[in-house]
Amino acid sequence: MSASGQGTGTLPRGTSIFSTRVKESGRAILAPVVRLAVAMRLTPNTITVIGLVITIVASTLIAFGWLLLGAALLTAGSLLDAVDGALARAQGSGTPFGSFLDSTLDRSGEAIIYIGIGGWLMSSQADPAWPMLALMIALAGSFLVSYSHARAQGIGLAADVGLAPRTERLVLVIAGVALAGFGFATGLLGILVILATLTVATVIQRIWHVWHASQASTSSKEN
């Protein structure tokens, strides 16, 4: 339930790939799933763990070449990632540990997805060197995007700006895996390059944003 913090002052927030309206529409679609989870008395933490288990299964399938099935399961796991936060709000049961567990397993799941894709690349590509390089840059960039957000919060600032937060990255990864499953392996390879570029760009955006926010905060205190 990766919740975004509020912007600082009137600084530009940056634009993610998907608009807020698109994301809100997705949450509305998941409302029946949230109601079902409430009726079944599932906890947000349970949903979070189930989502990770689905991601592990999906990534294993991808590593062994079952790309379309893996993409379908990744979609299900990603939807559960949105459900746990909505469920916590519906039940009023959000806790500091729940937030910690969700963030930790989110990072774990993202790493596991890239490991699964890496396994497929190593076994299917005649020359996997540059695709693996793009994958490693995308993975490192993804972790730095999340880390920059967490560190900004640690100093009392928001850094949820940027082109490629987690939802956008997941959609691109799933689309790339599905394309490869349909026989367009170059689609996945291209998306890995795009992800590598976007994650690095997002880290730079967040550093720039936090620098401006810290300058504005310092100026306001001096005045």
Which of these, 164, 187, 166, 165, lies nearest to 177 by C-alpha position?
Answer: 187
Tokens of 2: 């990766």
Reduced 3-state DSSP string for 115-162: HHHHHHHHHHCCCCHHHHHHHHHHHHHHHHHHHHHHHHHHCCCCCCCC
Task: For residue 186, give the DSSP letter.
Answer: H
Instruction: Give the residue from 149, 162, 168 showing the smallest Cα distance to 3.
Output: 149
**Cα-based angle 121, 127, 129 (whole degrees, multiple of 5):** 75
Q: Which of 81, 84, 102, 106 is catalytic?
A: 106
Distance, in Å, from the CA atom of 119 to the CA atom of 56, rounded to the nearest integer, reads 13
The count of C-alpha atoms lying within 13 angstroms of the C-alpha of 156, restricted to the half-sphere facing its C-beta, is 5
Q: Is 106 annotated in the active site?
A: yes
CA distance 111 to 169: 12
125: left (phi over 0), alpha (psi -120 to 50) or beta: beta
Query: What amino acid positions are annotated as catalytic residues?
Result: 106
